[in-house]
């Protein structure tokens, strides 16, 4: 019987139990986990898909996939052949799409020298995906100058 995913709120080893950013990083913040999520968004399903795309050691990949499944970001499925397991994003994993796009776009702006080649994200028509921004219901943009954190009791 497959092990049911734990709900992450039951963890006891949070870096900062009251901060959503810290909790998110505890779940998917290491380099390999987020790259596995990225590749799953790009169609990787089998263990070998992830290993070949990432060049990751088998033991590290095994550990990260196990944790992503346990934390409810991915689910394990039986391949159509019935012989192997595959991995798919859960709704929580799919919900990381905006995070991955925002990281990608930040990297395009800050991690490459001018003119240095890199990949870009395009939609089904081949058009560049617009920059991710945060707006209110009336279209006004938010940024670090117009927001603050309020702690809830």
Examine residue 140 and state whether it is found in any structural domain, yes or no: no
Examine residue 131 and state whether it is found in any structural domain, yes or no: no
**DSSP string over 59-90:** HHHHHHHHHHHHTTSEEEEE-TTSSSEEEEE-
Give pTM, 2 decimals: 0.87
The CATH number linked to 51 is 1.10.10.10
Examine residue 152 and state whether it is found in any structural domain, yes or no: no
Dist CA 54 CA 39 (whole Å): 9
Structural domain of 39 = 8-94
Examine residue 55 and state whether it is found in any structural domain, yes or no: yes
Examine residue 25 and state whether it is found in any structural domain, yes or no: yes
Q: In total, how many domains does the chain have? A: 1
Examine residue 12 and state whether it is found in any structural domain, yes or no: yes
Examine residue 60 and state whether it is found in any structural domain, yes or no: yes
The beta-carbon contacts of 90-93 under 8 Å, at least 24 apart in sequence, are: 90/5, 93/37, 93/40, 93/68
pLDDT, tens digit, 9 for 90 and up, residues 14-28: 888 889 999 999 999
Residue 64 · residue 52 · CB < 8 Å:
no
Give the dihedral sign, CA 16/66/61/52: negative
pLDDT, tens digit, 9 for 90 and up, residues 74-133: 999 998 888 899 999 999 999 999 999 999 999 999 999 999 999 999 999 999 999 999
Task: Tell me which DSSP letter residue 141 carries.
Answer: B
């Amino acid at each position: 019987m497959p092990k049911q995913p734990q709900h992450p709120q039951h963890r006891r080893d949070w870096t900062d139990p009251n901060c959503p950013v810290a909790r998110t990083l505890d779940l998917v913040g290491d380099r390999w986990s987020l790259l596995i999520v990225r590749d799953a968004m790009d169609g990787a399903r089998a263990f070998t898909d992830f290993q070949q795309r990432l060049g990751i050691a088998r033991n590290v990949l095994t550990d990260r996939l196990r944790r992503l499944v346990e934390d409810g970001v991915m689910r394990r499925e039986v391949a159509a052949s019935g012989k192997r397991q595959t991995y798919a994003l859960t709704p929580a994993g799919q919900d990381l799409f905006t995070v991955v796009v925002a990281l990608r776009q930040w990297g395009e702006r800050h991690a490459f020298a001018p003119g240095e080649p890199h990949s870009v994200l395009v939609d089904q028509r081949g058009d560049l995906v617009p920059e991710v921004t945060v707006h209110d219901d009336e279209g006004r943009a938010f940024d670090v100058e117009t927001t603050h954190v309020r702690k809830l009791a």
